[in-house]
């Protein structure tokens, strides 16, 4: 059996997870939460991670009931993400790998989300919609997406917003500026409520995502959809995608917040796949890459 420990800390979540041949042995994490209306700065986030990462590591080992000798490989998030938090996690992972005399693996954060989703849902060969963006939000109490989701449930009136889709590309540029400008006018004149605006924002953005996903399925002849990433927890997105899949006779796969939100187990799972296919990262190559594209990863563990 192969046991891999994974370190994740690309944004405001810091997590350590342990995987043994597809079984999640442990997956503790902490979240850096700033006051409402404030974002999380890279330096402050890194300071938070440095303060708790060893505690989370200890929890992961104790919860899994294993010792360092039982671990076969140490995986860490190489990128993409915020520079300072990524460096913090990489330093700890490199140190641990050397102290324990274990091979090291740098993992693409997005690939981690995808591999975790495939493991948990057992999707065979899905079209993957990776929906994320916590780094671009301005509040995290507990998360801006969650707050919008809850307010949207109480919305009743749809406000038309910019809708831009070209092929399988979407453009969200301008939509927040538009809704912020519309909000001040429409709310003061009682044309709509804040809940209506949240509802409209969700419906518009998710409609765009469903459209491009369906188009990708048609091009690939796919009958499965897997939603991953932090925004993948949104129930309304899952509902809308489910309607589309039902109309096409396809299956929808999604995970809950234990695994769709950034966590260490997803890095361990991707690392497990990579390690089993013969990949390792030399210490001299174990840097971080803030802009690490998904299509830059050579997938050697799938046909």
Calculate the alpha carbon distances from 5 to 38, 57, 65, 176 in Å: 32, 9, 13, 39
* CA quadruple 262, 267, 268, 269: dihedral sign: positive
| pLDDT tens string 111-125 | 999 999 999 999 999
Q: Which domains are delineated in the chain?
A: 3-121+262-285 (3.30.420.40), 133-254 (3.30.420.40)
| pLDDT tens string 52-102 | 999 999 999 999 999 999 999 999 999 999 999 999 999 999 999 999 999
Euclidean distance between CA atoms 197 and 28, whole angstroms = 35
| pLDDT tens string 248-298 | 999 999 988 889 899 999 999 999 999 999 999 999 999 999 999 999 999
| pLDDT tens string 184-194 | 888 888 888 88
| pLDDT tens string 21-53 | 999 999 999 999 987 777 789 999 999 999 999
Structure token pair of residue 108: 């693409």
Give, rounded to a whole angstrom, the gap between the first and last alpha carbons of the chain.
Answer: 22
Euclidean distance between CA atoms 256 and 232, whole angstroms = 8
């Amino acid at each position: 059996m192969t046991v891999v420990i994974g370190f994740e800390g690309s944004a405001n979540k810091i997590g350590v997870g342990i995987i043994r041949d597809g079984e999640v042995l442990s997956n503790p994490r902490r979240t850096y939460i700033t006051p409402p209306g404030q974002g999380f700065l890279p330096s402050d986030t890194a300071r938070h991670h440095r303060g708790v990462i060893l505690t989370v590591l200890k929890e992961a080992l104790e919860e899994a009931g294993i010792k360092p000798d039982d671990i076969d490989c140490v995986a860490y998030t190489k990128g993409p993400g915020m520079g300072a938090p990524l460096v913090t996690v990489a330093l700890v992972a490199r140190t641990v790998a050397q102290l324990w005399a274990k091979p090291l693996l740098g993992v693409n954060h997005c690939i981690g989300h995808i591999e975790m989703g495939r493991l948990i849902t057992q999707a065979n060969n899905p079209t993957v919609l990776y929906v994320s963006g916590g780094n671009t939000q301005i509040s995290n109490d507990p998360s801006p997406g969650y707050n919008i989701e809850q307010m949207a449930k109480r919305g009743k009136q749809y406000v038309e917003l910019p809708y831009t889709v070209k092929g399988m590309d979407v453009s969200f540029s301008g939509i927040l500026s538009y809704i912020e400008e519309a909000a001040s006018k429409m709310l003061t004149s009682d044309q709509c409520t804040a809940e209506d605006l949240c509802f409209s924002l969700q419906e518009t953005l998710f409609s765009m995502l469903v459209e491009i996903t369906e188009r990708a399925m048609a091009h690939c002849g796919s009958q499965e959809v897997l939603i991953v990433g932090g925004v993948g927890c949104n129930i309304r997105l899952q509902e809308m995608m489910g309607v589309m899949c039902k109309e096409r006779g396809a299956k929808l796969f999604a995970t809950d917040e234990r695994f769709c939100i950034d966590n260490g187990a997803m890095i361990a799972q991707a690392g497990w796949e990579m390690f089993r296919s013969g990949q390792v990262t030399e210490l001299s190559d174990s840097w971080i890459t803030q802009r690490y594209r998904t299509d830059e990863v050579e997938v050697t563990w799938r046909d």
